[in-house]
Structure 1
């Protein structure tokens, strides 16, 4: 029979055999799950069953690869490498097959106790999962699947750290954009308007070179991003004129100080403009809105909410492949909540309909 939990003293044990396609692949097992509840015991059984099935399919050698060895196999980018250096001491000498989803999820509170669950997922779970699954693709260890943190866990962690996560982004509108551009230098003013008009990501806009501009045809070649290939994007005649009068600048590298290739908006990296944008917003007397929210969120909210464009056209204009996603994430309501409450109140005021009714009645009598 498959592994089944049973209570023994203060802990839960399990007994039975691990099966695959209705056939036992282990001998009879009787061991402690270490859990104090039946739910915890069943979760342990599920994880142990998956591990033993993987070992049966991939062989004993697949369980010998250590996490350190798997890291060496992984083509890590600089940011990923920095994250993995912080994680490595916690899995020193451990094989990839011995790392369970539960302990990987529990590593977040250990390493970053004051961070949000989204940060735990991005900084810890994602890089470890990528390393192990990359080694699995090489046929050297079993894969790992990790369930995300629940809404309850996120809320509890937010309460513990006294800070709310997933705060809704504030999109830019035309009034904010006008105030920003009036105070900004020509490059930042053009950058803000370009992202608001084209829904370009910050990294795409910053990476633009003079060679990427085809102003006679009114288009710009945006670099590849988020799985989308590089593509030509149309721009307005006003944007053509602005970019034609904007002299490209050669930014300095963060290290070494050497001049880099000329960029349309003069920035070396997507993170370079944040301090400058804060100073511009402060001088203009407006709320600071991050470049991504001002541009990509601002574009979709303008098109979808303020101008009422249909979701398929708005999504295509912003290069979203799924029209459902931008409606859920990038569309922000501008409605005054108090007005909405008045409409839904127990004694709603319907002034306009009453006036229409009176006019119709007087017209009928005459």
Structure 2
């Protein structure tokens, strides 16, 4: 049967074979057209038929350029860290045409390039940058996204056993108790930074980039968390005591920065690494666990809103800048006092059952 489109979810797919003079000249197609509407899917089918028939009659199309992975990398605007990840990847697969790259080939690069690292590292330093490069090309060519299945829990455990490590240390999320103790031993500016991250869910990179004039509106009682990771700026109303503390901070320039108004920073740090030394010292002086920026701030906010105070998750997600509530729920909430809570719940359930049945779990001697 000739190529014809059919709906599959939000995208139209194609099925059938390309025919010439009534005879099929290809294997059976079952693939996405990348079109969201039927007319676009029909256009894809007709264009594909014309392309295949031309090749059938004339041989390989000389105008059809084969793009290698190395060429695709050159067309991708990578960030510095991402570019560093792409260097060893390109050495391995740079000469391979992108249409020959399969998810299996990409996934196998992880253990080959980083045999002693975790599956999380393989995902971050191999799968994610390769997928970004290929999808940058696909956006302008076929429009079909390149997808790679993540590493399974079984693969993660096997790799952790092989390298005798379970990966990064797991830190508890921040809390009001931890924050108050931290602020007792932190310089005022650093204490204000920790407070801002905890009450807004701001990342350290967002917090240190805040400008005292551009991101604080004292008249309206609002602060602006700069956009990050594809999200725009967030203007938030915060309690008066927090706003007062932020507006009371003296205006300061990061060290060695030109004294221009646009270079002012609310907390005075040039980048996310600036506060680290004083942060660790404040933890040590306070005698509390050294919780890094992200667990203390963004994870602390997620835990406080979703688990401790049980705020409506849509409200917490909107305020904290999560468009994906599943991400907030699965990544930024943590089991806390699990044994105590479960044992208390079991005890409550037992007492209810004993009262209802007038029977006792523990028989009296």
Tell me the TM-score range normalised by the shorter chain: 0.7 to 0.9
Secondary structure of 1:21's aligned partner: strand
Against the structure 1 CA distance between its residues 348 and 303, is the aligned structure 2 distance closer, same or farther, given a 3 Å change threshold?
A: closer
Deviation at 1:185, TM superposition (A): 0.9
Deviation track 1:170-201 (CA, whole Å, cap 9, x = no partner) reads: 11111111111111111110000111111122
Deviation at 1:350, TM superposition (A): 4.3
Instruction: Report how many aligned residue pairs link the two structures.
Output: 310
Alignment of 1:118-129 (within 5 A): 118-129=120-131
TM normalised by structure 2 equals: 0.74
TM normalised by structure 1 equals: 0.74
Whole-angstrom CA distance in 1 between matches of 2:225 and 2:26: 60
Against the structure 1 CA distance between its residues 343 and 236, is the aligned structure 2 distance closer, same or farther, given a 3 Å change threshold?
A: closer
Whole-angstrom CA distance in 2 between matches of 1:250 and 1:312: 37
1:104 match:
106
Q: Which segment drifts farther, 116-125 or 226-235?
A: 226-235
Alignment of 1:252-271 (within 5 A): 252=255, 261-271=263-273
Q: Is the 8 A contact 1:171 1:301 kept in 2?
A: yes
2:11 match:
none
Deviation at 1:337, TM superposition (A): 0.8
1:239 pairs with one of 238, 242, 256: 242
Deviation at 1:168, TM superposition (A): 4.8
Whole-angstrom CA distance in 2 between matches of 1:141 and 1:297: 35
CA RMSD of aligned residues (A): 3.4
Deviation at 1:259, TM superposition (A): 6.7
1:208 pairs with one of 206, 210, 218: 210
Whole-angstrom CA distance in 2 between matches of 1:141 and 1:94: 20
Whole-angstrom CA distance in 1 between matches of 2:74 and 2:280: 40
Secondary structure of 2:235's aligned partner: strand
Deviation at 1:102, TM superposition (A): 0.9
Whole-angstrom CA distance in 1 between matches of 2:251 and 2:299: 26
Against the structure 1 CA distance between its residues 313 and 180, is the aligned structure 2 distance closer, same or farther, given a 3 Å change threshold?
A: same
Deviation at 1:65, TM superposition (A): 1.2
Indicate yes or no: 2:221 matched with 1:218: yes
Deviation at 1:94, TM superposition (A): 2.2
Whole-angstrom CA distance in 1 between matches of 2:179 and 2:185: 10
Whole-angstrom CA distance in 1 between matches of 2:170 and 2:64: 44
Indicate yes or no: 2:120 matched with 1:91: no
Secondary structure of 2:219's aligned partner: helix
2:56 match:
none
2:15 pairs with one of 4, 21, 26: 21
Deviation at 1:302, TM superposition (A): 1.7
Indicate yes or no: 2:223 matched with 1:230: no
Structure 1: gaps (5+ residues): 1-19, 30-45, 48-52, 358-366
Q: Is the 8 A contact 1:251 1:259 kept in 2?
A: no
Deviation track 1:158-178 (CA, whole Å, cap 9, x = no partner) reads: 111112147654111111111
Whole-angstrom CA distance in 1 between matches of 2:131 and 2:292: 30
Deviation at 1:27, TM superposition (A): 6.5
Alignment of 1:40-79 (within 5 A): 64-79=66-81
Deviation at 1:240, TM superposition (A): 1.8
Deviation track 1:5-51 (CA, whole Å, cap 9, x = no partner) reads: xxxxxxxxxxxxxxx7232688699xxxxxxxxxxxxxxxx99xxxx
Q: Is the 8 A contact 2:192 2:246 kept in 1?
A: yes
1:299 match:
301
Structure 2: gaps (5+ residues): 1-13, 32-44, 53-60, 359-365
2:40 match:
none
Secondary structure of 2:297's aligned partner: helix
Against the structure 1 CA distance between its residues 113 and 350, is the aligned structure 2 distance closer, same or farther, given a 3 Å change threshold?
A: same
Secondary structure of 2:236's aligned partner: strand
2:158 match:
156
Deviation at 1:208, TM superposition (A): 0.4
Whole-angstrom CA distance in 1 between matches of 2:271 and 2:234: 20
1:248 match:
251
Deviation at 1:105, TM superposition (A): 0.5
Q: Is the 8 A contact 1:63 1:95 kept in 2?
A: no
Whole-angstrom CA distance in 2 between matches of 1:342 and 1:300: 24
